[in-house]
Amino acid sequence: MEKSDENTTVTTPRSEFKLHLQRLLKTGGSGLPVITGLSTQTNLTQIQLVQFFLKATELLRSGPLDRLTRARAFVEQYTSRLADHLSVQYQEAVKLTEIRRTLQENAERLSKQHAFILERQQQIDKRLSFLADRVAGLCNGPTKVDVGMHDEVIAVRDRLRKGLKKWFGSLRSRQSLLEERLARVCPTRSGAPRTPKTSTDLQNEDTEAEVRRVSYLIKQETADIKYLVDSIKLLNARYGSQTV
């Protein structure tokens, strides 16, 4: 692990940390002569005793205790730097976790949009396939079903036209006959004196009323016939045949 100039990361790798700690804890054999010298001298003066303690203190200061103290300080410094580094790493991990959560939400939203787009694409593909079939049918000409329907419509149209012609001719002849009959039975009213109505006059009035009623019915039937004729003309125009 490494540390920057602001002491945010540890600069000493693990291997160097181990080697440095081993150098600090490396032992030496400088303390034994003091103990040996102390054990061989039975009568020590005060000055010798003070010198002994000074030498012992100097040896301890530069000996194992000093090495342990320096090793402890090094470990504490390394631990402090490592704690700072872990704190920075933890903050970065928290930021990355938040970014990950945001990315997951965006991914879910994009997945829903992708599913919606796929559904719309399937619908569009179906419509394009249907339109392609229709275009192919138009380019290749009418199908057997279309030809059969066309022939059936032509046959019905021909039968309807023949029947309507006969019916229309019959109605025309009936209308002409009734108009002639009406002209014969209705007297002229140009300045004729009013006379009492006889039975013949009443019969003529009844005949005239019947003629008007029949004429009205004929007009209605004529309008219906014209509507049928217009329908036949529409069929003729659609299928390219002759009109009535």
Is residue 216 domain-resident?
A: no
Across the chain, mean pLDDT equals 73
Give the chain's end-to-end CA distance (angstroms, integer). 103
Number of domains present in the structure of the chain? 1
CA–CA distance from 233 to each of 129, 228, 237, 240 (Å)? Answer: 35, 9, 6, 10
Would you say residue 37 lies in a domain?
Answer: yes
pLDDT, tens only, 88-142: 999 999 999 999 999 999 999 999 999 999 999 999 999 998 888 877 766 666 6
Looking at residue 99, what is its pLDDT? 94
% of the chain beyond a pLDDT of 90: 18
- CB atoms < 10 A from the CB of 232, how many? 19
| pTM listed for this prediction | 0.33
pLDDT, tens digit (0-9, with 9 covering 90-100), for 35-83: 444 545 556 677 777 777 787 777 666 666 777 777 888 888 888 988 9
Instruction: Enter the DSSP assignment of 194.
Output: P
Is 188 inside any structural domain? no
% pLDDT > 70, the chain: 64
pLDDT band at residue 191 using 50, 70 and 90 as cut-offs:
very low
The answer to the question of residue 200 being in a domain is no
Tell whether 180 is covered by a domain: no
Task: Please say if the pLDDT value at position 3 is more than 50.
Answer: no
Which residue range(s) make up the domain with 110?
A: 16-140
- pLDDT single digits (tens) 194-243: 444 455 555 556 666 766 777 777 777 777 777 777 777 776 666 554 43
For residues 228 and 163, the answer to whether their CB atoms sit within 8 Å is: no
